[in-house]
Amino acid sequence: MNAPMTLDGHEVLLAVTGGIACYKAAALASQLTQAGAGVTVAMTDAATRFVTPLTFQSLTGRPVYTSLWESVERYDPQHIALVDRAEAMVIAPATANIIGKMASGIADDLVSTLAMTAMASTRILLAPAMNTNMWNNPVVLSNVARLTELGVDTIGPNEGRLACGTVGAGRMAEPDEIFGAVVALLTE
């Protein structure tokens, strides 16, 4: 790893959406935590079907948030409190669904609400992951371009063999790559 070994005192909000690349998000959470960052994880319902909240809780030592309707440790509205604490929000994997919601201003679950809240005040890094045909869809590419214009950073997707057997663009960037991008966001 070429990045600084310590992220002590930095806070990262890691949002995990529903795609097979969720397992890479677990590795990223571990890497960030081992580097000293405080990592809070929020997951969509679909993400919990790939990797359980317990995995992320064990890796980060913090509660994992999966709903706007959960009780919180403070009186603050959860989506505001989680974003206020974070210096950066990482969405990995970033599915076509969350990218479309963000580009359209839709906030209908915890992760999309956190993203919409964060867009006004917090650096956001998207790590797209989806089937090659979905990635190459003009609507998805337009949504990514719109988010880039609004100041959202992206990393990837990479090319290679996808879980569906297709070979092409759509693989989520590797955890080391995303980690390096997070370090750059937090230290620039």
User: Which residues, 6 or more positions from 86, have their beta carbon under 8 angstroms from its beta carbon?
Assistant: 11, 12, 13, 40, 118, 122
121: tokens are 């005040």
**Which residues participate in catalysis according to the annotation?**
164
Residue pair 126/93 in contact by the 8 Å Cβ criterion: no
Of 136, 89, 141, 94, nearest to 116 by C-alpha is 89
Q: What DSSP string runs through 159-172?
A: EEE-TTS-EEEEEP
